[in-house]
């Protein structure tokens, strides 16, 4: 504020050597299409002049006439017109030296930059010279003209560049920064919808950019007239203020539903009024700017109180960045409402600080969130490592239990194999020897022992080989069982179909052979049959086993349950093969059925 107060008086005086300040003029009003100044009606004025105070309600053109003396017309001379609102033209000694593109509606906008002209010596006179400013404007929007400087081109050009930087270039920089920050935080919000603080800040910057464009625009495209331009300018200011208030609420993690709905209604009303009644809203723009400014001041004041209460580093930084712009904005509001004289708004000099501060605290917030995420990830990593270690220990224990279970299963499997195979062969051998006479020749005993050896070889061969041809494995078993059944006068008839090329793994081969062996051993021991039919055939992707005898059958209760260790073992082998063992019994004999799928 001290720098601004020191700068304003210096800006009001002609500090440049070799220049003349023309701030005493005469003014006369005319209609929109006046090509020349009026002959009468001139009144003395002091520039900077705003004519709505003198001619309330006058929309059109006002001419300003200024005089200066030039001793040497050949001396290089430049002209600097400080301010023309809303648009205008400059004449020197009756010749046009500068002119805005449109002097009638839709008006050009040149209020935001001074006009610099290097005057040709042919236009200048020795003695008195005249400057005419033709200014077109609307009474509702502070129309008027500022002082004119005549003199050294180098000095005036330097002043022109300084003034243009303060009134145009710095605002262009602010606008570019606001658009970039708004776009960046809009993308952040789109990626993190739950964190609405980024969305409200993005909306604040984008709506504020539409309002801020008023300070650099040279025409009012695409709007039809100045009233509509001013209406939407005020509407975007209100929308930006409401969005800014919601941004501060979200930043402090507060929610006030009724207040938020009220802000939304105010913003929507401003946009609707600009669209439906632009002339009325344009003429009443001061009320809307006062409303938007009030929203800004109240929300910032509330935020400063919250920052002081909680004293978080990021909120204190943001509060410090907001404090200076708030103080400077008092001067800008006074200038906007015409309470003080001037043409340069100072808030743009501090808005860069505001944007940088807000960008910093939002980035700080984002980094803090990322640090929390990284901390959570690290904690999660430790938890996963602990869970992995525990799981590895559990799996190790489970593996040990499975090994123990596997050993027990192997022992049980060996017991069943001995029962179904070797045990069955032993039973048959004992039966043959019991029925044989006392003087049984030695060769017959040897033959019985060979059968037991062959059964043991079946166990060894089916277990040792990973895959074997099924027909080749059945052949020796068929021979041995056929001879066993012959000792009991049982006629066995075998039918094997489609077994060529079928190979089963060792476990499945042994299960099938043992099941077949146990079934025929039971026929030999218990059925009292005279004939047994064995049919093993391939049907598409399945293998079907059918064993039928004409014996006395078994009890239905025994057929439907395990019926002893032999039947239980057969049912378990059928399950391992992927099928279900079915036993059909009756007065005509017993039938055994098994259907299981072949491997792909």
DSSP state of 216: T
- φ/ψ of 181, rounded to 5, equals -65, -40
CB 425 within 8 A of CB 452: yes
Report the C-alpha dihedral over residues 266, 271, 272, 273, rounded to 10 degrees: 90
CB 129 within 8 A of CB 116: no
SS3 at position 450: helix
Q: Which two tokens stand for residue 132?
A: 């005419």
Short-list 245, 297, 238, 318, CA closest to 271: 238
CB 2 within 8 A of CB 128: no
Q: What pLDDT does 240 receive? A: 95
Q: What is the pLDDT of residues 99-158, one digit of tens each?
A: 999 999 999 998 889 999 999 999 999 999 999 999 999 999 989 999 999 999 999 999
Region of 144 (left: φ > 0; alpha: ψ -120 to 50; beta: rest) is left
Q: Which two tokens stand for residue 402?
A: 């499975």
User: How many Å separate Cα 10 from the centre of its chain?
Assistant: 53
SS3 at position 204: helix
- φ/ψ of 24, rounded to 5, equals -105, 125
Q: What pLDDT does 335 receive? A: 73
Q: What pLDDT does 439 receive? A: 67
* CA geometry: angle 23, 29, 33, nearest 5 deg: 120
Tell me if the bond preceding 222 is cis, omega within 30° of 0: yes
List, for the chain, all residue ranges whose pLDDT scores fall below the cut of 50: 1-15
Q: What pLDDT does 451 receive? A: 64
Rounded distance, CA 484 to CA 426, Å?
11
Rounded distance, CA 237 to CA 227, Å?
15
Q: What pLDDT does 507 receive? A: 77
User: How many Å separate Cα 169 from the centre of its chain?
Assistant: 36
Q: Which two tokens stand for residue 53?
A: 């105070």
How long a stretch of residues is the chain? 600
Short-list 313, 306, 305, 322, CA closest to 357: 322
DSSP codes joined into one string, 305-318 = HHHHHH--HHHHHH
**Sole residue written with tokens 């003080």:** 340
Q: What pLDDT does 518 receive? A: 86
Report how far apart, in Å, the C-alpha atoms of 384 and of each of 303, 370, 379 are: 42, 20, 9
Q: Which two tokens stand for residue 22?
A: 């023309």
Q: What pLDDT does 21 receive? A: 95
Report how far apart, in Å, the C-alpha atoms of 386 and of each of 13, 126, 372, 373, 390 are: 77, 97, 21, 20, 6
CA torsion sign for 41, 42, 45, 51 is positive
Short-list 221, 211, 27, CA closest to 109: 221
Rounded distance, CA 78 to CA 92, Å?
11
Rounded distance, CA 281 to CA 55, Å?
22
Q: How far apart are the first and last CA of the chain?
A: 89
Strand ranges in 262-408 using DSSP code E only, listed in sequence order: none
Short-list 500, 498, 511, 429, CA closest to 462: 511
**Residue 434: is it exposed, middle or buried by C-beta count within 10 angstroms (0-12/13-18/19+)?**
exposed
Q: What pLDDT does 312 receive? A: 83
SS3 at position 497: strand
Q: Which two tokens stand for residue 399?
A: 């593996």
Q: Which two tokens stand for residue 268?
A: 């929507």
Strands 531-539, 491-497: pairing is: parallel
Cβ-based neighbours of 156, under 8 Å, separated by 6 or more: 16, 19, 78, 79, 80, 116, 149
Q: What pLDDT does 377 receive? A: 87
**Residue 418: is it exposed, middle or buried by C-beta count within 10 angstroms (0-12/13-18/19+)?**
middle
Rounded distance, CA 248 to CA 319, Å?
11
DSSP codes joined into one string, 524-585 = IIII--SEEEEEEEEETTEEEEEEEE-S----HHHHHS--SHHHHHHHHHHHHHTS--EEEE
SS3 at position 162: helix
Strands 144-145, 95-99: pairing is: unpaired
């Amino acid at each position: 504020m001290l720098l601004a107060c020191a700068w304003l008086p210096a800006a009001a005086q002609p500090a440049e050597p070799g220049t003349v300040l023309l701030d005493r003029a005469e003014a006369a009003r005319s209609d929109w299409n006046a090509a020349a100044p009026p002959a009468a009606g001139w009144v003395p004025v002091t520039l900077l002049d705003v004519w709505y105070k003198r001619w309330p309600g006058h929309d059109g053109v006002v001419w300003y006439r200024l005089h200066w003396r030039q001793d040497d017309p050949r001396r290089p001379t430049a002209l600097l017109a400080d301010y023309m609102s809303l648009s205008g033209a400059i004449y020197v000694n009756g010749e046009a030296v500068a002119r805005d593109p449109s002097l009638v509606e839709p008006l050009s906008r040149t209020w935001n930059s001074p006009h610099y002209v290097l005057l040709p010596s042919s236009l200048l006179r020795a003695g008195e010279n005249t400057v005419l400013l033709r200014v077109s404007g609307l009474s509702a929007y502070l129309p008027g003209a500022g002082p004119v400087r005549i003199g050294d081109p180098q000095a005036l050009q330097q002043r022109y560049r300084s003034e243009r930087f303060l009134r145009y270039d710095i605002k262009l920089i602010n606008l570019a920064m606001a658009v970039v920050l708004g776009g960046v935080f809009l993308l952040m919000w789109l990626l993190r919808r739950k964190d609405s603080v980024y969305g409200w800040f993005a909306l604040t910057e984008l709506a504020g950019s539409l309002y801020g464009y008023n300070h650099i625009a040279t025409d009012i495209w695409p709007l039809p007239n100045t009233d509509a331009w001013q209406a939407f300018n005020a509407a975007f200011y209100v929308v930006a203020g409401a969005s800014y208030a919601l941004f501060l609420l979200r930043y402090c993690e507060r929610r006030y539903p009724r207040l938020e709905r009220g802000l939304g209604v105010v913003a929507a009303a401003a946009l609707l009024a600009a669209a439906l009644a632009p002339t009325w809203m344009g003429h009443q723009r001061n009320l809307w700017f006062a409303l938007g400014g009030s929203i800004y001041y109240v929300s910032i004041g509330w935020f400063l109180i919250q920052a002081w209460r909680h004293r978080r580093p990021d909120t204190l930084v943001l509060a410090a960045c907001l404090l200076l712009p708030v103080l400077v904005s008092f001067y800008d509001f006074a200038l906007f409402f015409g309470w003080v004289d001037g043409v340069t708004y100072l808030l743009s000099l501090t808005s860069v600080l505001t944007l940088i501060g807000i960008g910093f605290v939002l980035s700080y917030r984002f980094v803090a969130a990322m640090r929390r995420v990284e901390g959570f990830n690290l904690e999660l990593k430790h938890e996963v490592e602990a869970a992995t270690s525990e799981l590895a220990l559990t799996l190790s224990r489970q593996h040990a239990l499975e090994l123990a279970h596997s050993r027990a299963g192997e022992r049980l499997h060996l017991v069943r194999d001995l029962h179904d195979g070797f045990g069955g062969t032993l039973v048959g051998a004992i039966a043959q020897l019991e029925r044989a006479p006392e003087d049984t020749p030695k060769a017959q005993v040897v033959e019985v022992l060979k059968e037991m050896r062959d059964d043991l070889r079946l166990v060894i061969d089916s277990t040792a080989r990973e895959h074997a041809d099924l027909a080749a494995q059945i052949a020796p078993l068929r021979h041995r069982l056929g001879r066993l059944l012959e000792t009991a006068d049982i006629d066995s008839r075998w039918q094997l179909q489609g077994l060529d090329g079928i190979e089963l793994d060792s476990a499945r081969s042994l299960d099938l052979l043992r099941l077949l062996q146990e079934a025929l051993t039971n026929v030999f021991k218990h059925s009292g049959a005279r004939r047994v039919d064995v049919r093993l055939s391939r049907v598409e992707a399945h293998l079907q086993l059918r064993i039928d005898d004409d014996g006395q059958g078994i009890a239905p209760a025994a057929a439907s349950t395990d019926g002893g260790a032999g039947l239980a073992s057969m049912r378990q082998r059928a399950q391992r093969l992927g099928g279900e063992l079915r036993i059909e019994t009756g007065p005509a004999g017993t039938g055994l059925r098994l259907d299981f799928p072949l491997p792909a």
